[in-house]
Amino acid sequence: MLKRRRRGPSAGFVLMTLVTIAVVIFSCYLVFTAGARQAAKVVETFYTLEQEGKFSSSWELFHSSMHKRFTRETYIQDRSHVFINHFGVDTFTFDLTSPRKISHWQKHEEAVAMDAYKVIATKKYRGKYGYFEFVQHVYVAEEDGEWKVLWDFNEQ
Protein backbone atom coordinates (compact mmCIF):
# COMPACT_ATOMS: atom_id res chain seq x y z
CA MET A 1 0.00 0.00 0.00
CA LEU A 2 1.30 3.42 -0.90
CA LYS A 3 1.53 6.09 1.72
CA ARG A 4 0.50 9.55 0.78
CA ARG A 5 3.01 12.20 1.44
CA ARG A 6 1.83 15.54 2.59
CA ARG A 7 2.59 18.36 0.32
CA GLY A 8 3.05 21.72 2.03
CA PRO A 9 2.24 22.80 5.53
CA SER A 10 -0.85 21.71 7.39
CA ALA A 11 -3.89 23.92 7.67
CA GLY A 12 -3.25 24.32 11.41
CA PHE A 13 0.29 25.56 10.78
CA VAL A 14 -0.91 28.08 8.19
CA LEU A 15 -3.63 29.33 10.55
CA MET A 16 -1.19 29.72 13.45
CA THR A 17 1.26 31.58 11.20
CA LEU A 18 -1.45 33.99 10.02
CA VAL A 19 -2.63 34.61 13.59
CA THR A 20 0.94 35.28 14.72
CA ILE A 21 1.52 37.73 11.86
CA ALA A 22 -1.76 39.52 12.66
CA VAL A 23 -0.82 39.81 16.35
CA VAL A 24 2.62 41.23 15.49
CA ILE A 25 1.13 43.78 13.07
CA PHE A 26 -1.54 44.81 15.58
CA SER A 27 1.06 45.12 18.36
CA CYS A 28 3.24 47.34 16.14
CA TYR A 29 0.19 49.47 15.33
CA LEU A 30 -0.57 49.92 19.04
CA VAL A 31 3.02 50.86 19.85
CA PHE A 32 3.38 53.35 17.01
CA THR A 33 0.00 55.03 17.58
CA ALA A 34 0.05 55.12 21.39
CA GLY A 35 1.27 58.72 21.55
CA ALA A 36 -1.36 59.97 19.12
CA ARG A 37 -4.15 58.18 20.98
CA GLN A 38 -2.98 59.57 24.33
CA ALA A 39 -2.68 63.07 22.87
CA ALA A 40 -6.23 62.88 21.50
CA LYS A 41 -7.52 61.67 24.85
CA VAL A 42 -5.93 64.50 26.85
CA VAL A 43 -7.32 67.14 24.46
CA GLU A 44 -10.77 65.56 24.64
CA THR A 45 -10.57 65.51 28.44
CA PHE A 46 -9.39 69.13 28.50
CA TYR A 47 -12.30 70.43 26.43
CA THR A 48 -14.83 68.23 28.23
CA LEU A 49 -13.72 69.81 31.51
CA GLU A 50 -13.95 73.27 29.92
CA GLN A 51 -17.44 72.40 28.64
CA GLU A 52 -18.47 71.60 32.20
CA GLY A 53 -16.96 74.84 33.53
CA LYS A 54 -14.30 72.93 35.49
CA PHE A 55 -11.54 75.38 34.61
CA SER A 56 -9.39 74.47 37.61
CA SER A 57 -9.29 70.85 36.47
CA SER A 58 -8.60 71.76 32.84
CA TRP A 59 -5.76 74.05 34.00
CA GLU A 60 -4.17 70.98 35.63
CA LEU A 61 -3.81 69.41 32.17
CA PHE A 62 -1.56 72.25 30.98
CA HIS A 63 2.15 71.79 30.43
CA SER A 64 4.29 73.47 33.12
CA SER A 65 5.22 76.24 30.67
CA MET A 66 1.52 77.09 30.39
CA HIS A 67 1.26 77.21 34.20
CA LYS A 68 3.97 79.87 34.10
CA ARG A 69 1.91 81.86 31.61
CA PHE A 70 -1.41 81.65 33.52
CA THR A 71 -1.85 81.20 37.24
CA ARG A 72 -4.74 78.94 38.14
CA GLU A 73 -6.74 81.83 39.60
CA THR A 74 -6.22 84.09 36.58
CA TYR A 75 -7.11 81.29 34.18
CA ILE A 76 -10.33 80.39 36.02
CA GLN A 77 -11.38 84.01 36.24
CA ASP A 78 -10.59 84.81 32.59
CA ARG A 79 -12.26 81.73 31.15
CA SER A 80 -15.48 82.13 33.07
CA HIS A 81 -15.52 85.92 32.59
CA VAL A 82 -15.01 85.86 28.83
CA PHE A 83 -17.11 82.88 27.83
CA ILE A 84 -19.90 82.98 30.35
CA ASN A 85 -20.23 86.69 31.12
CA HIS A 86 -19.27 88.34 27.82
CA PHE A 87 -20.57 85.83 25.32
CA GLY A 88 -23.57 84.79 27.38
CA VAL A 89 -23.06 81.05 26.93
CA ASP A 90 -23.32 78.26 29.45
CA THR A 91 -21.42 75.66 27.45
CA PHE A 92 -20.27 74.69 23.97
CA THR A 93 -19.79 71.70 21.74
CA PHE A 94 -16.47 70.84 20.14
CA ASP A 95 -14.90 68.85 17.34
CA LEU A 96 -11.30 67.67 17.28
CA THR A 97 -9.11 66.66 14.37
CA SER A 98 -6.94 63.57 14.51
CA PRO A 99 -3.55 64.24 16.12
CA ARG A 100 -0.65 64.95 13.79
CA LYS A 101 2.92 64.51 14.99
CA ILE A 102 5.12 67.63 14.86
CA SER A 103 8.86 67.37 15.47
CA HIS A 104 10.74 70.26 17.08
CA TRP A 105 7.65 72.40 17.74
CA GLN A 106 8.00 75.64 19.73
CA LYS A 107 5.12 77.42 21.46
CA HIS A 108 6.89 80.73 20.82
CA GLU A 109 10.19 81.81 19.27
CA GLU A 110 12.23 81.67 22.49
CA ALA A 111 10.75 78.39 23.74
CA VAL A 112 12.58 75.09 23.85
CA ALA A 113 11.72 72.91 20.85
CA MET A 114 9.85 69.68 21.63
CA ASP A 115 8.10 66.87 19.84
CA ALA A 116 4.35 67.29 20.07
CA TYR A 117 1.05 66.29 18.54
CA LYS A 118 -1.15 68.94 16.98
CA VAL A 119 -4.93 68.78 17.31
CA ILE A 120 -7.27 71.45 15.98
CA ALA A 121 -10.20 72.10 18.29
CA THR A 122 -13.31 73.81 16.95
CA LYS A 123 -15.56 75.05 19.73
CA LYS A 124 -19.14 75.93 18.77
CA TYR A 125 -21.13 78.40 20.86
CA ARG A 126 -24.71 79.60 20.87
CA GLY A 127 -25.04 82.70 22.97
CA LYS A 128 -26.69 86.06 23.24
CA TYR A 129 -24.74 87.19 20.14
CA GLY A 130 -25.77 84.20 18.05
CA TYR A 131 -23.83 81.19 16.79
CA PHE A 132 -20.06 81.37 16.52
CA GLU A 133 -17.05 79.08 16.38
CA PHE A 134 -13.55 79.34 17.77
CA VAL A 135 -10.76 77.37 16.17
CA GLN A 136 -7.76 76.70 18.37
CA HIS A 137 -4.53 74.91 17.51
CA VAL A 138 -3.70 72.70 20.47
CA TYR A 139 -0.43 70.91 21.03
CA VAL A 140 0.21 67.99 23.34
CA ALA A 141 3.66 67.03 24.57
CA GLU A 142 4.90 64.51 27.07
CA GLU A 143 6.22 65.96 30.33
CA ASP A 144 7.39 63.75 33.19
CA GLY A 145 5.59 60.75 31.68
CA GLU A 146 2.26 62.55 31.25
CA TRP A 147 0.71 64.16 28.19
CA LYS A 148 0.12 67.89 28.69
CA VAL A 149 -1.69 70.61 26.73
CA LEU A 150 0.06 73.60 25.16
CA TRP A 151 -1.22 76.49 23.10
CA ASP A 152 0.62 78.17 20.27
CA PHE A 153 1.70 81.76 20.91
CA ASN A 154 3.69 82.23 17.68
CA GLU A 155 2.61 85.14 15.56
CA GLN A 156 1.42 83.79 12.24
Strand 100-105 with 114-127, pairing: antiparallel
Residue 68 · residue 153 · CB < 8 Å? no
Residues 6+ apart with CB under 8 A from 124: 92, 93, 94, 95, 131, 132, 133
Q: Which of 150, 129, 148 is nearest to 139 (CA)?
A: 150
**Which pLDDT does position 104 carry in this prediction?**
84
Class at the top of the CATH hierarchy for domain 13-151: alpha beta
pLDDT digits (tens, 9 = 90+) for 55-66: 999 999 999 999
**Which pLDDT does position 108 carry in this prediction?**
72
- Per the document, the length of the chain is 156
Q: Which residues of 29-39 are buried (b: 16+ CB within 10 A; e: fewer)?
A: eeeeeebbebb
pLDDT digits (tens, 9 = 90+) for 5-54: 667 777 777 677 666 666 655 554 445 556 689 999 999 999 999 999 89
Q: Can you give the pTM of this predicted structure?
A: 0.75
Task: Tell me the average pLDDT across 68-91.
Answer: 84
pLDDT digits (tens, 9 = 90+) for 97-140: 999 999 888 877 777 888 999 999 999 988 888 898 999 999 99
**Of the listed ranges 39-48, 70-79, 85-94, the one predicted with least confidence:** 85-94
**Which pLDDT does position 106 carry in this prediction?**
80
